Chains A and B, each alone.
Chain A
Amino acid sequence: QLQLQESGPGLVKSSETLSLSCSVSGGSISRSSHYWVWIRQPPGKGLEWIGNIFYSGTTYYNPTLKSRVTIAVDTSKNQFFLNLTSVTAADTAVYYCARDRLGGDFSFDNWGQGTLVIVSS
Chain B
Amino acid sequence: QSALTQPPSASGSPGQSVTISCTGTSSDVGDYNYVSWYQQHPGKAPKLMIYEVTKRPSGVPDRFSGSKSGNTASLTVSGLQDEDEADYYCSSYAGSKNLVFGGGTKLTVL
Query: Are A48 and B34 CB-contacts (below 8 A) given A107-B48, A107-B52?
Result: no
Cα–Cα distance between A45 and B45 once the two chains are bound (Å) = 13
Interface size on A, residues (CB 8 A): 22
Q: Judge whether B104 and A111 touch: CB under 8 Å.
A: no
Is B21 an interface position by the 8 A CB rule? no
What is the minimal beta-carbon distance from A104 to any residue of chain B, in angstroms? 9
A89 at the interface (CB under 8 A from B): no
| A46:B98 contact, CB within 8 angstroms | no
In B35-88, the 8 Å CB interface with A consists of 36, 38, 44-48, 51-52, 57
Which listed segment binds B: A12-20, A23-31, A58-66, A78-86? A58-66
Q: How far is the CA of A117 from the CA of B80 in the complex (A)?
A: 35
Q: B66 → chain A, closest Cβ, in Å?
A: 11
| Nearest A-chain residue to B53, judged by Cβ | A105
Q: Is A120's CB within 8 Å of the partner chain B?
A: no
Q: Which of B45, B52, B102 contacts A46 (CB 8 A)?
A: B102
Interface residues on B, range: 20 to 34
Closest to B51 in A: A107
Is residue B100 contacting chain A, with contact meaning CB distance below 8 A?
yes
Q: Are B51 and A101 in contact (CB under 8 A)?
A: yes
Q: How far is the CA of A48 from the CA of B93 in the complex (A)?
A: 13
Asked if A113 CB lies within 8 Å of chain B CBs, one says yes
A-side interface residues toward B, CB under 8 Å? Answer: 46-49, 52, 60, 62-64, 96, 98, 101, 103, 105-109, 111-114
A-B residue pairs in contact (CB < 8 Å), sample of 30: A46-B101, A46-B102, A46-B104, A47-B101, A49-B99, A52-B97, A60-B97, A62-B1, A63-B1, A63-B98, A64-B1, A101-B48, A101-B51, A101-B57, A103-B51, A105-B36, A106-B34, A106-B36, A106-B93, A107-B34, A107-B48, A107-B51, A107-B91, A108-B38, A109-B51, A109-B57, A111-B46, A112-B45, A113-B44, A114-B45
